[in-house]
Amino acid sequence: MTSPVITVEHGVVGYDGRPVLRDISLTVTAGEVVAILGANGSGKSTLIRAVLGLVPISAGSVTLFDRPLRRFRQWARIGYVPQRLGAGGGVPATVREVVASGRLARRGVLRPPGRADRSAVDAALGAVGLADRAGDPVSTLSGGQQQRTLIARALAGQPELLVLDEPTAGVDAASQEAFAGALRDFVGDGGTVLLVAHELGPLRPVISRAVVVHEGRIAHDGAVPDPAGHHAEPDHDHVHPHCYDEPAGLWSN
Ligand SMILES: Nc1ncnc2c1ncn2[C@@H]1O[C@H](COP(=O)(O)OP(=O)(O)OP(=O)(O)O)[C@@H](O)[C@H]1O
């Protein structure tokens, strides 16, 4: 019953000839919540981008839902929340509009949204605790609420696999709790999660397995490291801030 959702075998990725991932083998099976940990610059984001085909692998293989990546087309089965959204400034989109855009892969661009689309958007807004902000411009939300909006956008597509790059970095405590709850519900409904994290915080009880990337290889794959000490985790490097300041909003200037 544990079918592989993601399989990476001996994956190698480099930028401009400089190797970042040297030999990565990883299998994520249905229902798992796998956290990728590691020092700054160790290649965590590169690993999930390689899994999604956003950066090419120069050796090895990636398989998604039993299909080689190069032949995989069922992208609606995957929801992806990148590390930072960058642009978007000045677009007066409401929370609901942003979340509804997560339905596009499901319904096709030319078909108007139907009841299933609306109810999926409502469910996603509720899951992250933003139903009461649905009509507000995203630019008026806190950074944590904007991050929750992006997570709701991914959930609205009703994916089977969620891939998230540092979903709680720089996010306020309430948003972290809301996100942990949404993740728990998602997994309870049969979803699978692969996420990059620096600090697990409220996510810790939801994580079923931790993978630590070190110098382009997997240094640990198994139990979530001891809470006392993410300081004791391999490669913890003290570069990142230890508090969760609200950053400038993703959509504000
Ligand atoms: N598009 C790119 N072009 C060239 N080098 C890159 C690119 N993206 C990442 N790198 C480099 O690859 C290495 C791994 O980066 P990556 O973002 O995967 O690490 P990370 O573990 O996610 O780091 P962080 O915790 O800081 O987000 C770093 O040295 C980074 O500078």
Its ipTM equals 0.95
Bridging pattern class, strands 217-222 and 209-214: antiparallel
Ligand 1 within 6 A of 1 CB?
A: no
Q: How far is the CA of 41 from the centre of ligand 1 (A)?
A: 5
CATH topology (fold) of 4-86+161-232: Rossmann fold (3.40.50)
pLDDT in tens, 112-129: 778 888 999 999 999 999
Ligand 1 within 6 A of 45 CB?
A: yes
DSSP labels, the chain: ---EEEEEEEEEEEETTEEEEEEEEEEEETT-EEEEEESTTSSHHHHHHHHTTSS--SEEEEEETTEEGGG---GGGEEEE-S-----TT---BHHHHHHGGGHHHH-TTSPP-HHHHHHHHHHHHHTT-GGGTTSBGGGS-HHHHHHHHHHHHHHT--SEEEEESTTTT--HHHHHHHHHHHHHHHHTT-EEEEE-S--GGGGGG--EEEEEETTEEEEEESPPPGGGGGGSTT--S-S-SS-PPPSPTT--
Average pLDDT across the chain, whole number: 84
Residue nearest to atom 11 of ligand 1 (CA): 41
Ligand 1 within 6 A of 119 CB?
A: no
Q: Is the pLDDT of residue 148 over 50?
A: yes
Ligand 1 within 6 A of 216 CB?
A: no
pLDDT in tens, 74-121: 988 999 888 765 444 555 689 998 898 888 777 666 667 788 889 999
